[in-house]
Amino acid sequence: MLLGLLVMPIEGLRYIETCWLLGRLMCALSPYVFYCLISASLGHMVLISIVRYLTICDPLKHSSKITITNVKMCILLCWTSSIIYNGLILMDHMGHPERFSSCHGECVVIISYIPGTIDLFVTFVGPCTVMAVLYMKVFLVAYTQMRLIRSQTVATNDRLAPTAKKSHMKAARTLGILIVVFLMCYCPYYYPTFVGEDTSTRLSYYSILTWIELLNSCLNPLIYAMFYPWFRKALKLFFTFKILQAHSREVMIM
C-alpha cells in the first residue's frame, strides 16, 4: 500500500515527463524510499513465511513464540535493517544525486555491478531461499497431516477433519502462490546484474523492469483477499475508516 501511495506516482511522473520536476532533494530521497519499501516488503513476506511455518509445523510452540512483543521486535528489526542497508547501497547517490546527470532537470540513479550483486543476494536470493525452504517444509507437513487426517476420518468418521485438512492446504497453497508471484516479478528486475551490467535508470528497459517489480506489491493484497476472509474484513475496516473508531481493536475479524 505504501508503495502504491508513495512510489508509484513518483515513478509514473519520472516516465511521463521528460525532465525531473521534483528537485535535487527528491531525486536523492525517492530511490531511497523506493528501495526501503521494497526491502521491508520482502522482509514482511519472510516473516509471514516463518509464521506459517510455525503454525503448521510447530503448533505447540506457536503461541509462545509468536507474541505481540516478538512481532513488534521483528517488524522493527525489518524496517531498521532496510533503512540502514539501503542507506549504504545508495550512499553515493544520496550524497551526490546529480553525479550522473548529463543536463539540468535529470535524475539518474546508477547502482554499479558490485553493489548490485550484493543487493541481488541480500534482497532476492536470500529471501527467496528462506521462503522456498520454509514452503517445502510446510507443504510436506501439510501433506503428511492430510494423510493422517484422512486415515483418522475413515477410522472415526470425524467431521472436523476435512476442515482442518482444508485449512492446512490453503495455507500451503497461498504461500506457494506468493513465492511464485514473487519470483515472476523480481527476476526481471535483476536482469542487468545477471548479465554483468550496472543497474541504471538510463537503461531503455529499466521502466519495464521497475513496474514489473512494483506489480508484486499490488498482487500480494489481491492474493490474500482471494484466500482469506479475515483479510477482506480488515481491508474493509481500513478503507471505511472504521479502524479509527473507538473499540475498533475489539472487532472480531478471524
Per-residue model confidence as pLDDT tens digits over 17-60: 667 777 778 888 888 888 898 888 888 888 888 888 887 777 77
pTM of the predicted structure, to 2 decimals? 0.76
Q: Which residues, including other chains, have CB under 8 Å from residue 253's CB and lie 6 or more apart?
A: 230, 233, 234, 237
Per-residue model confidence as pLDDT tens digits over 190-235: 888 888 888 887 787 888 888 888 888 778 778 877 777 777 777 7
Domains and CATH numbers, the chain: 2-250 (1.20.1070.10)
- Does the structure show a pLDDT above 80 at 131? yes
Residue 149 pLDDT: 67
- Does the structure show a pLDDT above 70 at 103? no
Q: What confidence category does residue 253 fall into, taking pLDDT thresholds of 50, 70 and 90?
A: low
End-to-end Cα, the chain, rounded Å:
22
Contact 193, 124 (CB under 8 A): no
Residue 42 pLDDT: 85
Of 126, 128, 89, 131, residue with least CA distance to 110:
89
- Does the structure show a pLDDT above 90 at 189? no
